[in-house]
Chains A and B, each alone.
Chain A
Amino acid sequence: MGLAHILGFSLGSVLISAVRSGKTRSRLLYIASILALYSLQPALALRQFDFWLPTAAIALAIWVWVATMDQQRKLEGEDRLSLAILAATLGLLILSSYLPQSLRAFVSLPLDLPDVTFGIILIGAVAWSIRRIKRTIRSLDILLIVLILTIFVGLKAPELSLELSRAAREWTGQSPDLASILDLNWLGFSYIAFRLIHVLRDHQSGRLPSMGFQSFLLYVFFFPALSAGPIDRAERFLKDLRQERKNSQWTLWWQGGARIVRGLFQKYILADSLALVALNASHINLVQSSIWLWVLLYLYSFRIYFDFSGYTDIAIGIGALSGIRLPENFNQPYRQADLGAFWNRWHITLAQWFRAYVFNPLTRGLRKGTLAGSPWLIILIGQLATMILIGLWHGITWNFFIWGLWHAVGLFIHNRWTEAQRKAKELTGGSSQLKRIRALGSWALTFNFVSLGWVWFSLPDMRTAWSAFLKLFGGSLG
């Protein structure tokens, strides 16, 4: 989301929030979100894929909505109208692809009409089939989760992504030799996928509220949160969307504007300035001493925080301008004195997602099994599975695996340490000065542990990361 999008989205949100009718406001947000989905998608080397990837995201959302619709529910007038609006918007997008190049704001190349027609018929046919078979196939939700995860893995694993790119290039008649993982840069798919999986899992467990077509698509594609989250929960989003606005538009503009300004400052002044000097692969062998590498690593820690937190502030601010309160994603994570508290305040919505759909069900299941007598082992397995998956969510590489493992081990050690201290009742002992020193030491340990974890996260491969790790402690790979 660049400055032009932020400005456009902010102005659009202000205009939409000025509309008095809640129904019309929702409708406008829905249209804006569909347009934003195409507008934010960067142009790709794969011909017409800047149309097909957002369209595939819409297709997945439609299929998930159909699969999770109440069995008894039929298409209501409101749903039909929303579908018609979607079709009309897509129609305009397709027509806009034939405008002169300088006027094409959403799709970079003229679209192939027979392909588009076939694609839309296919999406509709699959949706119709899902509606027909969902009564008979009980595991449809699981099938859709598997489909989404398969796509996710295909995009996030570099080797698979390259193979997919080659295949796509052969399909579009382009040279497979020029395939690159950047060919399949599907904007926001990580977030879209996790919203859809959340919906399917909640549908399985019977917790999913009934959602109309428009509300559902608006939840999945709400434009401020498309590119960098946060990952809202459907029932919370729906509640916000449906309830009468408590605050006046002035209050929304005040709150939203303040968040956007804060986010812009964090992202475009702090993070972008720090990016010039923060740790990267080219610095490791150039710095003259380990101390400088530590400095660059700390700068990276702040850079990634300001970057991500700044984006979140902008998203929350634009959401507030339009009348939707998005959940918080960061809450002073680097001021925390233990790793557990850090993960309660860093990428909060992602951590909550994994807690709800991985850690909790996994540990519940293990408690019922043969490991019931070993709570520490259950926690270790739960932490390992959760944190490694959080790592792999960022990309299926060894570096992200190690980053997840690093935090899992850290969380487990912290858990055991806290447990041991609780038993020994050491936490209550000691003078207030000793407690302050202990708190300061805990903070320093946590911050350094998290910062060292960024070595795995920020560097492109294991060898580079390991080399940096050794150099930080005065060693070298030789």
Chain B
Amino acid sequence: MADQQLSLGELEEVHKASLVRLTLKTFVVIVVLNFLFMMLDPIAVIGKISLYNRVFPGRPRFPYSDDPALSFNLTVNQLDAMFASHIIKQAPKDPSEYRILLIGDSSVWGFLQKPDETLSAQLNQLDLRTKDGKNVRFYNLGYPTLSLTKDLLILDYANIFQPDLVLWFFTLEALPWKKQLDSPLLTFNPLASLAILNKHAIRIDAAQDQLKPPSLIERTIIGRRRLLADLLRHQIYGLLWTATGIDQNIPETFTERAEDLTDNTEFQGISSEQYSDSLLAFDVLRSGIEQSSAPVVLINEPIFISDGANSDIRYNFYYPIWVYDHYLSALEREVSANGWSYINLWDILPGDVFTDSAIHYDLNGVGQVITELLSSPPLANLVN
């Protein structure tokens, strides 16, 4: 209406002034917002803002996906957002609950397993009670990629959820020092990762190079635009997660774990002559156990043992026999020397339960692992 009362000339002036003013204001607002964002670095706060556990049900495992459009799930690699969408954040712990956290790699997370087929989901379906009558609830805090330091980061964060027991699943592949920082979860959370390393006095030479805190420019809205967009998409996918109950696209066919193996006897470029137990990060296990707010049970997870070509020199794609045997001995020495609680499941599963890798197993495998777990002392003494 105001436009109609002005002459064309006056309107021009209004528009000119408005456009100049708007351009300047927009520029100033963008600069100020980016500056404030850079100074406050509110990613942790933003990550905690979540529709999960409020509008959408919490996810029973961390957000992770190779194909978001089919999995209705997205890898965000931001710890606060990961926990905010997890079912563990749903409500404060009930006094009648006995809370057990499962930490580990993709075999714990449940690669190629539906949400109700994972180790934690199957354990929960047993509706276990402790000897003093508490409801045992298992929480899947496994996350794909093999690194004990990645597990330590999750375990450290998870302490606020008041666990009563931690089951820490791992395999040799997660132990070499040189692989500790390979997980994107660590490089996406460099400050938290560095804090963990400092807190536990863990010295990793590559840490200064691989865990660089974001520069000032990277901390602006513009610098964080990809992460912000991912956090938004992570929330949007909550709708399809609620509608379908799907959080992973499980193809009908996949490439099965290798039965016939290479004749290479090196482990990650290391020959048996070069090998030393000092190459393995037992210190990270020690730190996790010492710093955890709950008792930790170490679990050497099941691996595929091949009968195919070169199975006389290798157990599977990952491990030459010599290195795994060395590792088993070293691990048992550490466990014994430190009095750690430990369950060794490395060879309990038959080959046919393994799916696409030497550490991923199917629902049958999950059942057998549960049987072994519940008959092993730490858990057998705990539950009815």
Contact = CB atoms under 8 A, between A and B. Distances in A.
Nearest to B237: A276
B19 A292 contact: no
Contact of A247 (B8, B232, B244, B245): B8
Interface string A251-293: 1011101000000000000000100110000110011100010
B46 interface: no
A246 interface: yes
Contacts of B15: 248, 250-251, 253-255
Contacts of B18: 254
B331 interface: no
Interface in A236-252: 246-248, 250-251
Interface string A286-317: 11100010011000000000000000000000
Contacts of B11: 247, 251
A221 to B, nearest CB: 29
Interface residues of B, number: 21
A247 B233 CA distance: 42
Contact of B243 (A246, A254, A282, A288): A288
B239 interface: yes
A425 to B, nearest CB: 36
Contacts of B244: 283, 286-288, 292
Given A251-B15, A254-B19, A282 B236 contact: no
Contacts, number: 52
Contacts of A251: 11-12, 15
Interface residues of A, number: 20
Contacts of A273: 232-233, 236
A320 to B, nearest CB: 12
Contact of A246 (B8, B19, B69, B239): B8
A254 B15 CA distance: 6
Contact of B19 (A247, A253, A282): A253
Contacts of A250: 12, 15-16, 19
A346 B78 CA distance: 42
A288 B243 CA distance: 6
Contacts of A286: 243-244, 246
A283 B242 CA distance: 12
Interface string B1-30: 000000010011001101100000000000
A292 B244 CA distance: 9
A257 B19 CA distance: 9
Interface in A205-258: 246-248, 250-251, 253-255, 257
Interface string B101-142: 000000000000000000000000000000000000000000
A277 B237 contact: yes
B46 to A, nearest CB: 17
Contacts of B243: 283, 286-288, 292, 295-296
Contacts of A253: 15, 19
B204 interface: no
Interface in B225-259: 232-233, 236-237, 239-240, 242-246
B33 interface: no
Contacts of A283: 240, 243-244
Given A253-B19, A286-B246, A248 B12 contact: yes
B70 interface: yes
A172 to B, nearest CB: 33
Nearest to B246: A286
A429 B131 CA distance: 74
Contacts of B232: 273
Contacts of B8: 246-247
A161 to B, nearest CB: 26
Given A246-B8, A288-B244, A276 B236 contact: yes
B44 to A, nearest CB: 23
Nearest to A291: B243
A286 B237 CA distance: 14
Contacts of B236: 273, 276-277
Contacts of B16: 248, 250
Contacts of B69: 276
A276 B12 contact: no
A174 B236 CA distance: 43
Contact of B245 (A248, A277, A282, A288): A288
A248 B246 CA distance: 55
A435 B332 CA distance: 81
Among B237, B239, B243, B244: residue with most chain A CB under 10 A:
B243
Interface in B19-73: 19, 68-70
Contacts of B239: 277, 295
A284 to B, nearest CB: 11
A247 B237 contact: no
Nearest to A289: B243
A253 B232 CA distance: 32
A276 B233 contact: yes
Contacts of A277: 236-237, 239-240
A244 to B, nearest CB: 12
Contacts of B240: 276-277, 283
Contacts of B68: 276
Nearest to A296: B243
A317 to B, nearest CB: 14
Contacts of A257: 19
Given A248-B12, A273-B232, 15 more contacts: A247-B11, A247-B12, A251-B12, A255-B15, A273-B233, A276-B237, A276-B240, A277-B237, A283-B240, A287-B244, A288-B244, A288-B245, A292-B243, A292-B244, A295-B243
6 contacts: A247-B11, A251-B12, A251-B15, A277-B237, A277-B240, A288-B243
Interface of B: 8, 11-12, 15-16, 18-19, 68-70, 232-233, 236-237, 239-240, 242-246
Listed from nearest, the 10 A-B pairs whose CB atoms lie closest are A292-B243, A250-B16, A248-B12, A254-B15, A286-B244, A251-B15, A250-B15, A287-B243, A277-B239, A254-B19
